[in-house]
Amino acid sequence: MDALLERLGVTRYALHVHDYGAPVGFRLALRHPERVTGIVSQNGNAYEEGLTPFWEPIRTYWADPSPANTAALGTVIDRDAVHWQYTHGVPDVERVDPSYELHDHALLTRPGNAGVQLALLLDYRTNPPLYPVWQEYLRTHRPPVLAVWGANDNIFAAAGAEAFARDVPDAQVHLLDAGHFPFVTHAAESADLIRAFLRALPR
């Protein structure tokens, strides 16, 4: 990502991070803190308290990726698993456009992708040890932070959003009545908050 931005000549940017994208964004911010004008996090975690019990079997897998521990994770690309991610914690599932699920499932079930997803999940173990480093970056550089978070997310808890205010005291934290994908079920609310935040950033 850094090489792409260099090639494009992009030297000032706000980061919008979610899920797997959060570790990418925070690594980029560490590399070039002077380039980051602000951070929008939508269920993009940087704190231990943001990790829910959902992660317990995954932590076991991190410690020992044996066949038994791998099998305990279930089928990560199963249609039911994708459906759960989109609908869990969503009071009105009618707000979830089914095309999102269908598109994700179609991509996830490409030949060989199950192994890729497991490898990606295993590699995620490199991120929690960096949480203190990312938090120090936030405390030191104090980038403007907007957390627009699904309050009912069972993957990254709302406590992970609230924790931003510990390191960036003027962080804006908004907990929406949503699950893991607030930008899917609460697109208008998310967009309004993000637009206002971006407009107020220094140029």
Catalytic residue IDs: 180
Q: Are 5 and 109 in contact (CB under 8 A)?
A: no
Cα gap 197→34, rounded to integer Å: 19
CA distances from 65 to 57, 69, 115, 119, 121 (A): 11, 6, 12, 10, 11
Retrieve residue 70's tokens. Answer: 């791998």
Cα gap 76→105, rounded to integer Å: 10
Retrieve residue 30's tokens. Answer: 């560490």
User: Letter for the amino acid at 103?
Assistant: H
